[in-house]
Structure 1
Amino acid sequence: MTLFDLGRSELKGLIENEPRYRFDQIWNGLYKNYSLPSELTTLPKALREHLSSLGEMSLALSEKEVLFTDDKKTIKTLYSLSDSREIESVLMAYSDRVTLCVSSQAGCAMGCVFCATGQAGFFRHLTKGEILEQIFRASRTSRDIFGGRLSNIVFMGMGEPMANYDAVIDAIGAINFEFGISARHITISTVGIAPGIRRLADSPMPISLAVSLHAANDEKRSKLVPINSRYPLGEIIEALKYYQSKQNRRISFEWAMMDGINDSPADAFELAEIARELSAHVNLIPLNPTPLWPYPGSPIEIVEGFRNRLLELDVNATIRQNRGNQIAAACGQLTTQMSPRKRSSSPRPDPID
């Protein structure tokens, strides 16, 4: 157990001989001011030293490398975990928000053939604390570099969130109640783990849901997204209907556009049938290159034509703006192989390692 695995009661137990207001100083320092106990000069020096000596107060992540895009609006960070496994997260600044793409696992077991994380394989789940520490560090970076508050969280980083459901939901509870980020600004992206979708439907928090679809018939989808053989489209659609009946929230479909593979008029028609049935929004994502997938993304004119065809078929569809291709930080590109050629000399806030 490390610092961000601690709940309120566990932290109180570590300082039970201190006045109540000391707990409030530490807790608010972590979740409101993004400050570690060792940085809180309002605490007595002896208490800071005592807390620093406790293993439960240690950090879970160690920052290994940081990459910036040329416009300094997208930042990818490589972290080492306590067992030397590695993860990445991506922070993106937009005109109206700052979004963090969070990892929920080290690697991924889903094996999507076009995804760099899936190509690398699965190592282990992340703990609640390892997920929350990504939020904490990104909140500091957003404040210090972008001059604004981290406002949106997307579980679209490394790993399948529904495969690590309990840790992800526990982390989301803290993101919502402690970091103060609205549940409506938190999105879980899944390849279609039907039991997880049903569990999310029963959650009291109004968390947004995105499904990485990529093909709208079982034969093609099972080749691109192998877990489809276990949870085929019919089962996913029924789980999504249940989610809608309980949450009354719009579902998004993510569709990575692959040249000559899933970008034909027939593909658009099959997708439209499912999207209309669920009143789903479709995000079209020009496929980003990954090491072990030899096929290119669809040309932009094909992507735009596909989008227009969906609109003609009464489906709400948009083309997602790719962020971070320059530093292999875009959708499907997260692995743990950082490129020194892309390293930026942009200023960084003081490290906390």
Structure 2
Amino acid sequence: MKIHKIIKVPTGEIYVAQGEKGLLEFLTVGDYGKDANIKADFLGITRELNGVPNGKPMPLTEKLVITISTQYGCSMGCKFCDVPKVGAGRNATQADLRDQILTAIRQHPEVKHTKRLNIHYARMGEPTWNYHVVVNALLLHDIVKPYIGDSLIHPVVSTMLPKNNRGLREFLRQWTDKVKNGVFNGDAGLQFSINSTDDKQREYLFSGNSLPLEEIAKIGRELPIPLGRKYALNFALADNSIMDGKRLRELFDPEKFMCKITPLHRTASCEQNHIATTGGYELFTPYMTVEEDLKAHGFDVIVFVPSYDEDNGLITCGNAILSGKLPTSTYELIENER
């Protein structure tokens, strides 16, 4: 896979490379560590997050995160995401998925082993449209072993639960049975992007392309009890987000599902659509009431807040260099001839 562009930002590198159908975008991230930018009472991390200062990521030998694209562009049309600006979603091939991971790893030959390698299928595209994602995950140990040996691997799928995907239930069944509870024995993740408990609000945010919450809950009830970490219900909170812990508890079992709260990342689409989490990068206030409500209804809750370096470096979800945006943090651009 030929790299056309590398953008080095304070917390990682963003790559644009030639895939089998066009240009793909993927990245490597150095993590700050859970003590830096999460609050999770159930894990014993209880202090409020009143902003996360820019800092130095952990060594990649401690944790390496690789986020890859499962599609060229995306057709979901989410109001908070820049990836639809790249174009309609076309599935990446099996070779594309493998080559993104290997290209990212080869950029760091100094890393012969890491305590944790996270593979996030979350840069461009809705992963449940592409069954190659399941196959790729099942092959991960063989793919990376020549480079980083027997490092712990933790693959994660984040889905917007597209309502027109007839293969959605089968994808999730295969992911939970074969990947999470099977080959990885719990060391794999599944995240549902929910953002609101109000279906009218969700219709707007996901441009009518995500299932209603009750349909998502039916799918949730069909999934097996997860080994390892619970399945995650993700809420990227906007200023007017409607959150009802009672309704969520009626639909989802806290024995199977935890909740994750984040600010909406400041993408071009968020700015154009006037969607924001005011104060979400400086104060705990936007999360406090929602966190308490969810905990009161039995859910384990993680609050995750990125630093300005992470968000301004476009490492966070919803961003895409191929959409025409560049980092507003300090960055170095390396371009190769095509």
- Structure 1 and Structure 2 fold alike (TM over 0.5): yes
Name the TM-score, length of structure 1 as normaliser.
0.69
What is the letter of the counterpart of residue 231 of structure 2?
I
The answer for the alignment partner of 2:176 in structure 1 is: 201
Change (3 A) 1:314 1:277: closer
State how far apart, in whole Å, the 2-side matches of 1:224 and 1:170 are: 30
1:304 corresponds, among 267, 285, 288, to 288
State how far apart, in whole Å, the 2-side matches of 1:205 and 1:159 are: 24
| In the alignment, structure 1 residue 192 sits paired with structure 2 residue 161 | yes
Deviation at 1:125, TM superposition (A): 0.9
| In the alignment, structure 1 residue 287 sits paired with structure 2 residue 274 | no
1:149-176 CA-partner distances (Å, limit 9, x unpaired): 37111111111111011x1122112213
2:254–2:299 CA contact under 8 A, matched in 1: no
The answer for the alignment partner of 1:17 in structure 2 is: none
Change (3 A) 1:90 1:287: same
1:282-336 CA-partner distances (Å, limit 9, x unpaired): 1111001222332212423212332233223332111223263122221212351
1:40-63 CA-partner distances (Å, limit 9, x unpaired): xxxxxxxxxxxxxxxxxxxxx322
State how far apart, in whole Å, the 2-side matches of 1:184 and 1:304 are: 33
Change (3 A) 1:132 1:343: farther
State how far apart, in whole Å, the 2-side matches of 1:102 and 1:271 are: 30
State how far apart, in whole Å, the 2-side matches of 1:274 and 1:130 are: 37
Aligned length: 281
1:116-154 CA-partner distances (Å, limit 9, x unpaired): 11344314211111111111112123444x675371111
- Percent of aligned positions that are identical: 20
Aligned-residue CA RMSD in angstroms?
3.1
Change (3 A) 1:340 1:295: closer
> For 2:302, what is the secondary structure of its paired residue?
strand
2:204 corresponds, among 201, 204, 223, to 223
State how far apart, in whole Å, the 2-side matches of 1:335 and 1:345 are: 14
Q: Which has the higher contact order (CA 8 A, sep 6+)?
A: 2
The answer for the alignment partner of 1:241 in structure 2 is: 221
> For 1:78, what is the secondary structure of its paired residue?
strand
The answer for the alignment partner of 2:144 in structure 1 is: 179
Name the TM-score, length of structure 2 as normaliser.
0.72
2:23–2:72 CA contact under 8 A, matched in 1: yes
Deviation at 1:89, TM superposition (A): 1.3
2:106 corresponds, among 128, 140, 143, to 140
The answer for the alignment partner of 2:12 in structure 1 is: 74
Deviation at 1:238, TM superposition (A): 2.1
| In the alignment, structure 1 residue 332 sits paired with structure 2 residue 318 | yes
1:313 corresponds, among 297, 302, 307, to 297
The answer for the alignment partner of 1:36 in structure 2 is: none
State how far apart, in whole Å, the 1-side matches of 2:293 and 2:119 are: 31
1:105 corresponds, among 49, 71, 93, to 71
Higher normalized helix content (fraction of residues)? 1
2:158–2:191 CA contact under 8 A, matched in 1: yes
Deviation at 1:227, TM superposition (A): 5.4
What is the letter of the counterpart of residue 197 of structure 1?
L
2:232–2:258 CA contact under 8 A, matched in 1: yes
Structure 1's unaligned 5+ residue stretches are 1-60
Structure 2's unaligned 5+ residue stretches are 32-57, 163-167
Deviation at 1:258, TM superposition (A): 0.8
State how far apart, in whole Å, the 1-side matches of 2:226 and 2:304 are: 28
Change (3 A) 1:341 1:236: closer
1:67-94 CA-partner distances (Å, limit 9, x unpaired): 2333xx32222223354x3222121123
> For 1:178, what is the secondary structure of its paired residue?
helix
Change (3 A) 1:237 1:77: same
2:70–2:124 CA contact under 8 A, matched in 1: yes
Q: Which structure has the larger Rg?
A: 1
2:72–2:125 CA contact under 8 A, matched in 1: yes
What is the letter of the counterpart of residue 183 of structure 2?
M
1:67–1:342 CA contact under 8 A, matched in 2: no
1:162-202 CA-partner distances (Å, limit 9, x unpaired): 1011x112211221333247786111111125422233234
What is the letter of the counterpart of residue 133 of structure 1?
D
